[in-house]
Amino acid sequence: MNELEQVAIRMKEIQIALKSWRYEMFDEYATKIKAELPQELREEIGADEAAGWRAVLKQLPYNTNGLPEEWTNKIWLLEDREYQYWTMYRELLEQRAQMAELIIKQREYVNQAALEKIYDTHGSQRFNAFTSYDQTTYMVGLPSNCLELWMYIESDRFQNPVFREFYSEKDVVIEEKEMYANQPGSIIYNTFMKTAYDAHPYGKPILGWMSDIELTLRTDMEEHFKRFYAPNNCQLTIVGDVDTKKVFKLAEQYFKSWQPSQVADEMTVVEPEQNGERRVVIEYDAEPRLMIGYHVPVEPHPDAYTLSMISSILSGGRTTRFYKSIFDKQGLTASAPGAWRGPGDRYPNLFIINATPKSPHTTAVVEEAILSEIEKLKDESVTDRELERVRNQLSMQKIQRLGSNRWLAFALNGAYVDRGDLHSISDDFDRLMSVTPEDIQRVASKYFTKKNRTVALMVKPTEVADATELETGESE
């Protein structure tokens, strides 16, 4: 629907011309007007977005002279030479109303949730898709008689998609981002990641920045789709009660016409070596949290296996070091601190530790306790029993996971994306099992250095001073 795209393009132009600060000020004013509409009018408008914006437009003055006194007095942006911006903003609101109307009109041409309904009526489970740092995955569980239906639908949607509801779905993505923006765990995570990474995209949020989302056009998405959603950049994984020969035959039949694209491994940015500890404090009205990270390599780098082993020695059960020492014996945290590697597995990542202090203990005290456990890894050899326990757990986990079709499918997709080699699943396991106590001491000393460290703290605005004065050592 080109009309819709034209409105979106015009909205984008105006928004860029207004500059974000001017746009935000105008918008705040319009929202206030909207909230103060007479009650009868609000009832009448109800959930009609277009009617809402038109009602606001009626209340807004045509020129800047009519704006409230506090604006005309204080703000130089409303002087004559800025007059055009106000006119543009009014046009933007009109475009918003039009966009809302066009989205409604568009519904006449859309058979909503058709795909979901087809799968659903056939008894599907977990029909969904996700985007992680390394991959985009489309998944569904189906009763085994639906194999050919799956071939039909998936081959059709990736070869012949029509992106009909882009702009209403974009609003949904904005809501998704807002949702994370109000979760303390997600706030500290994003800030921690962007502090740790200078160059590599692992430092950027998966959903991008709000301004990126707002200004993205449907045509931008189509470009992306054409490049990356191609058979030469894709693996289909099927696990379950199916006949192999039949699967290959059907895949050939349904997917053969899918044309390859020019996509290549385009991510060439290498994160430069960190040249000193990075520390960031987030002021937020929630109880304290902290994250600590070190830059580390990923598999098949030999040290990566040792790092995996270290994370299992530190966290993940009642006999791990973080649990026993920091949570149980010292009682410093609300739960045992976690240790894992992320945010992706395809490029060099971070060894990450997170913790939530238990009052009255501060982030500083918890940080000190974590760092002392890290030092212990360098100074003392881990015991044979600790290592043996982790090996036992890893072996059992391997058996256990074989019981899950879904886990196998994810593992096989991950092996393709991260390593381009399905054998890596068993190779990695063997290498992990052969990590020695000497490896652990050597690897801990190599990567867990102050210079290579990033620390993020979340503290209440009233307690910032306490949290940032690390050296005082006062905890209680």
* Residues from 153 through 192 that contact other proteins (CB under 8 A): 153, 156, 165, 167-176, 178-179, 181-184
Residues 6+ apart with CB under 8 A from 467: 281, 288, 362, 363, 364, 457, 459
If the CB atoms of residues 239 and 297 are measured against other proteins, the closer one turns out to be 239
From 236, 298, 371, 433, residue interacting with other proteins (rule: CB under 8 A): 236
- E-state strands within 260-372: 278-283, 289-296, 338-342, 349-355
- 134-169 as b/e: b if 16+ CB within 10 A: bbebeebbbeeebbeebbebbbeebeeeeebebbee
Please tell me what DSSP assigns to residue 300: T
* Least Cβ distance, residue 6 to other proteins (angstroms): 19
- CA pair distance 95, 310, nearest whole angstrom: 56
Of 124 and 349, CB closest to other proteins = 124
Cα-based distances in Å from 210 to 112, 177, 178, 213, 373: 27, 8, 9, 5, 39
Binding residue count for other proteins, defined by CB under 8 A: 107
347 phi, psi to nearest 5 deg: -125, 160
State which of positions 424-463 bind other proteins (CB under 8 A): none
148 binds other proteins (CB under 8 A): yes
How many CB atoms neighbour CB 373 within 10 A?
20
Min CB(197)–other proteins separation in Å = 25
Of 65 and 112, which CB lies nearer to other proteins in the complex structure?
A: 112
469 is an interface residue for other proteins by CB under 8 A: no
Could you give the maximum distance between any two Cα atoms of the chain, in Å?
80
One of 137, 393, 441, 449 touching other proteins (CB under 8 A): 393
CA-to-CA distance for 158 and 230, rounded, in angstroms? 8
* Residue in 19, 58, 117, 451 binding other proteins, rule: CB under 8 A: 117
In this complex, which beta carbon is closest to other proteins, that of residue 112 or of residue 372? 112
Among residues 216, 190, 193, the alpha carbon closest in space to that of 203 is found at 193
Q: Footprint of other proteins on residues 297-356 (CB under 8 A)? A: 317-319, 324, 328, 331, 334-335, 356
For 251, residues 6+ apart whose C-beta sits below 8 A from its C-beta are: 151, 236
Q: How far is the CB of 129 from other proteins (least distance, A)?
A: 11
Residues 22-81 that bind other proteins (CB under 8 A): 31, 34-35, 39, 42-43, 46-47, 49, 52
267 near other proteins (CB under 8 A)? no
Q: With binding defined as CB under 8 A, does residue 137 bind other proteins? A: no
Q: Examine residue 105 and tell whether it contacts other proteins (CB under 8 A).
A: no
Q: Write out the binding residues for other proteins, residues 352-371 only, by CB under 8 A.
A: 356, 358-359
Q: Does 405 bind other proteins (CB under 8 A)?
A: yes
